[in-house]
Amino acid sequence: MTKIVFLDVDGTLIDYHTRTPESARRAVDQARRNGHKVYICTGCSKAEILQRDLPELDGMIGANGGYVEDDGKVLLHHSLTKEQTRHVTEWCRSRGIGFILEANSGRYYDDNFLEQGPDAYVRYREGKGTGNTSLQEQRERIQREFFYVSGEDAWREDVNKISFVLRTYQDHLDSITEFPDMIAHTWGGVGESAIFGDLAPAGITKKYAIELLLEHLGADQKDTISFGDAKIDLSMFELCAFNVAMGNGGPEIKAAADYITDDVNSDGLYNAFRYLGLI
């Protein structure tokens, strides 16, 4: 029977150095040859995904549910308004917080993020057990992979979500109060510590996007399987019939899983695909 598989990206399909383990690539390729459908379901926007060397897929859910694509057809694209983007960027600037605007056209950073982002990314990778990266390497990556914006150029209307560096956890709590028309999350390192905050349109979740995609496909919820490693993936687990946590995942996602596989770099995806009979 055909299964519909939803894969988180960072820490699930790819490692924290943004590399796809060869065994994961084989697993996805073979599962699709066996007639199963495989989608990514990620917080990343499409521009970031296009910079990754991923296996061929049936489609994607991006921006934590704000963008849905099946076989090249866009089913949903829900962005922040220009006024919402202005509100967030000016709030960040007033507090001296660096931000990234995540859009399908690219990722956009400001001066504060170029100053704060490299350290935040180093801490993120160290927290995930994949250190060995320098501040200079991260600064060069930002300048190479992102676009710079300043002033009113940041007030875009194609932004799926906005990530920002947390000086303290209070920045995240304050963002919840400041932006009641948006949904606020945090993401980070070991134990899912809060290194970054992010803000996206209210009502958008991975669960919502999967429901929309299943309706489009005429597929049944009982045939769905999801894979994740972080709290943001819990909304997938609420909907899908069988849920797999990566060995490198946080405690909340493991507690909610039907099965816990190995780490992303220890053939975790491949081993779970075998266990489930997808390959």
Q: Please tell me the predicted confidence (pLDDT) of residue 123.
A: 87
pLDDT, the chain, mean: 93
Q: Do residue 238 and residue 259 come from a single domain? A: yes
State the SS3 of 222-244: HHEEEEECCHHHHHHHHHCCEEE
Q: Please tell me the predicted confidence (pLDDT) of residue 124.
A: 81
Q: Answer yes or no: is pLDDT of 192 > 80.
A: no
* Bridge-based pairing state of the strands 159-165 and 182-187: unpaired
What sign results for the dihedral spanned by CA atoms 175, 96, 146, 128?
Answer: negative
Lowest mean pLDDT among 185-194, 198-207, 225-234: 185-194
CATH number for the domain harbouring residue 40: 3.40.50.1000
Of 107 and 129, which is predicted with more confidence? 107
Q: Do residue 120 and residue 196 come from a single domain? A: yes
Q: Please tell me the predicted confidence (pLDDT) of residue 127.
A: 65
pLDDT tens, position by position, 77-94: 999 999 999 999 999 999
Q: How far apart are CA 257 and CA 20, in angstroms?
A: 23
For residues 58-80, average pLDDT: 95
* Encoded tokens for 185: 């999350």
Domain tally, the chain: 2
Q: Do residue 94 and residue 172 come from a single domain? A: yes
Q: Please tell me the predicted confidence (pLDDT) of residue 230.
A: 87
CA 127 to each of CA 123, 192, 245, 273: distance values in angstroms, whole numbers, following the listed order: 6, 8, 18, 27
3-state helix, strand, coil in the chain (%, to 5): 45, 25, 35
Q: Please tell me the predicted confidence (pLDDT) of residue 243.
A: 98
Question: Of 170, 201, 232, at which residue does a domain stop?
Answer: 201
Q: Do residue 88 and residue 194 come from a single domain? A: yes
Q: Answer yes or no: is pLDDT of 188 > 90.
A: no
Within the chain, what is the greatest distance between any pair of CA atoms? 54
For residue 198, give the nearest of 67, 74, 49, 98 by alpha carbon: 98
Residue 130 pLDDT class (50, 70, 90 cuts) = low
Three-state secondary-structure class, residue 204: coil
Rounded percentage of the chain residues whose pLDDT exceeds 90: 85
Three-state secondary-structure class, residue 166: coil
Q: Please tell me the predicted confidence (pLDDT) of residue 17.
A: 81
Q: Please tell me the predicted confidence (pLDDT) of residue 22.
A: 97
Q: Please tell me the predicted confidence (pLDDT) of residue 70.
A: 98
Q: Please tell me the predicted confidence (pLDDT) of residue 82.
A: 97
Question: Of 201, 223, 243, at which residue does a domain stop?
Answer: 201
Q: How far apart are CA 45 and CA 186, in angstroms?
A: 17
Question: Of 201, 220, 250, at which residue does a domain stop?
Answer: 201
Q: Do residue 49 and residue 90 come from a single domain? A: no
For residues 32-43, average pLDDT: 97
Quick count: other Cβ atoms within 10 Å of Cβ 130?
17
Q: Answer yes or no: is pLDDT of 191 > 60.
A: no
Phi, psi of 271 (to 5 degrees): -65, -40
Range of the domain at 60: 4-78+204-275
Q: How far apart are CA 187 and CA 245, in angstroms?
A: 17
Q: Do residue 11 and residue 99 come from a single domain? A: no
Q: Please tell me the predicted confidence (pLDDT) of residue 131.
A: 61
